[in-house]
Structures are given as C-alpha cells and as structure tokens.
Structure 1
Amino acid sequence: MIRATRVQGQHRWSSPPADTVVLDFDDRHRRRMAMTGTRGLEFLLDLEHAVALRGGDALVLDDGRLIEVVAAPEPLTEIRCNDPQHLVRVAWHLGNRHLPTQIMAKGLRIRRDHVIEAMVKGLGARVIEIEAPFDPEGGAYAEAFHAHAETHSHAHVEAHSHAHAEASSHAHSSHGHAHHDDHGHDDHHHQHDEHCEHDHHGHSHAHDHK
C-alpha cells in the first residue's frame, strides 16, 4: 500500500490534490492509520511523529501526489459573549479546564458538553448548537494533550505493576515470618516440656492470650 509520510501545511502547496480525506478532530491527530480518500484512493498514513492536522493541510504520498485534508463537520457549541473582555473571561475558564477551544471573530467554539454549556451560561454568555468543522487553537496543545494521555497511561501501568509486586513481596514475607514464628513456638514448647518440671498452667495461659 502506498504511504503518506510527510505533511504540507496550509497555504504551502498548490498542485491539484489526487484525492481528499475528510477527518474529524480526533482523526486529525494520528501517526499511523489506513485511510481511504473520497475518490477511493487507499493509502497508509505513516508519519515519524503524530501531527495535529488542520483543514487545508496536504499529505504527501511516496510518489509525490498530494491528499488534501478537510476538517469534517461535528456537533459543536458556539459561545457568544457581550464584549471582548467578557470573551476573554469565558475563554480563561475554558482554558482552565483544558478544553480544546476554537477562537472565532465573534465567539468561541467547543465540542458539545452540557456541563460546560451550563457553566458559560452562568458567566452570562449565550450558547448556540451548530454543526461545523472543529479546528481548535494550537496544534501544540493537541500534541501536549496526547503526550500527557500516553504518559499517564504508562505511569498508571507502572504504578499498578509496582504495587502488585510490592503486595506480593509483602505477602510472601508475611508468610515466611509466620512460618518462622510457628517453628519458633514449636521449639519453645519442646524445650519447655523437656526441661521444666513445675506446674505449666500459668505459663500456658499466658501463651493463649498472646
């Protein structure tokens, strides 16, 4: 299968594309993925690193042909504010929650989320449900987000493995300690029975209460 191994950014290519792929926000952040263009051209996206693609980018095939990237329409919420200061305030709250946000001339766009919509309404903003391509601010954010997700997943697996190993080790040590103590008590009873000739009732009673 022919591969796409490079990306040409927006406005950096001019040749007619051989085909077009229509991708939503999630599918525009991939490193390796089989794709089929709208005209039926099949190829393998095979990049060295995951790249946050934008609508208008082009994927470069091994033979030099270009595949245009089109951002697919998605269910979004457009947030309208009273003035620039109000917009900045709402944008700050969205950023504080690490939400991918698209900045428009007259508002902000996010993926639909009833909880966030209620929050921005509480801040005095208006919300409008729309269908549109989602092109949030900053490819760097997307890369950092996916890197964080991978790191978190890796750390979780490591922590779980470490905790499991530690628990197993502790259980093994406890078993060994109990086994050793049992032998110790047996030896003690053996010595006690051989060498003591006085009444054992009080001593035995003390052992029973340990």
Structure 2
Amino acid sequence: MIIEQIVGNVEDIPSSGRHIEKVYLSSDDLVKRIQRVTTDHGKEVGIRLKEPKDLIDGDILYMDEHNMIVISVMNDDLLVIQPANIKQMGEIAHLLGNRHLPAQFEGEDMLVQFDYLVQELLEQLDVPYSRQIRKVKKAFRHIGHHHG
C-alpha cells in the first residue's frame, strides 16, 4: 500500500468504531515525505506524499469503512523550558538560535530536544526547566540559513 496524501487527522475525523492500526514515528521522521513504515499489526505501508507537508500526530494515512491507519508520534527526551520573564525568554531564544536548535511552544513552555550543553546553559543562567519524556505533536523543524 502506497500513501500519497493524508486523509485528515483523528482530532477532526472520529474513528466511528473503525479498527485503528498505528504507525509509530519519531518526531524526526515526521519531516520525511518518502518512507517505508510498518503498522503495529505488521502491515507494511509506503508513504510518498505528493505535497511537501510534515506529518503530525494523529494524521490518518488510510481510512475505509472498517479500518484506519493513524500516525502516533513516539515520546521525545525534552528540555521543557519555562522562562521567568520575557527578558529571559528572549535570551534563551537567542542562544538556542545561535546553536541552530529548533524549539516548539506549547502554552507557556518552550520545548527543545534534550542536549546536555543546553541543560548546562540553562543551569548557568538559572532558567527554570525540567527534563521530560513526552510526545510532541509536530516535528522539530530545522530552518536553514547562512551567516553572510
């Protein structure tokens, strides 16, 4: 089976009693348009998306009247940064940007994939953070640029 487009997302389309098979992906795999995956029931699926779109947690790869194949993102090892004020947020964002580390935001939390150097930096700057194993909804996207 080759999947060329996403049907929708389980947040928008209820399963309505359909059997759900899951494809477990790391957050890094969400940016890949072409990949071969295996469902939790052992079914091989090829993904070859026509549109340049990142996959997100809950995306439906396939659906018929009885079955759904759904993306489930595996947990990441994260630093959950909770800056005390806007100045601290700006400083951390600047320092992470200099290291080309992608970040995501969920509510007041800034999320970055665990990196011991970032952890040391947060401790040196006395920035509140915690290390958590948790699921992110979308990929950590590296944005390419050059220093000119």
Quote the residue 2:117 is aligned against.
115
Instruction: Report the secondary structure of 2:84's partner residue.
Output: coil
Counterpart amino acid of 1:14?
A: P
Which has more radius of gyration?
1
Quote the residue 1:5 is aligned against.
4
| Larger fraction in strand | 2
Quote the residue 1:190 is aligned against.
none
TM-score, structure 2 length as denominator?
Answer: 0.75
Q: Structure 1: give runs of 5+ residues left out of the alignment.
A: 153-210
- For this pair of structures, how many residues does the alignment match? 142
Counterpart amino acid of 2:6?
A: V
Q: Structure 2: give runs of 5+ residues left out of the alignment.
A: none
Of 84, 99, 108, 2:101 maps to: 99
How far apart are the structure 1 equivalents of 2:28 and 2:90? 26
Q: Give the Å deviation of 1:105.
A: 2.4
TM-score, structure 1 length as denominator?
Answer: 0.56
Counterpart amino acid of 2:25?
A: L
Q: Give the Å deviation of 1:9.
A: 4.5
- Residues 124-163 of structure 1 correspond to what in structure 2 (within 5 A)? 124-135=126-137, 142=141, 145=143, 148=144
Counterpart amino acid of 1:33?
A: Q
- C-alpha RMSD of the superposition: 3.0
CA distances 1:64-108 after superposition (whole Å, capped 9, x unpaired): 864211110121111222234433432343234331212122321
- Residues 44-83 of structure 1 correspond to what in structure 2 (within 5 A)? 44-60=46-62, 66-83=68-85
Identity rate of aligned residues, in percent?
A: 22
Instruction: Report the secondary structure of 1:33's partner residue.
Output: strand
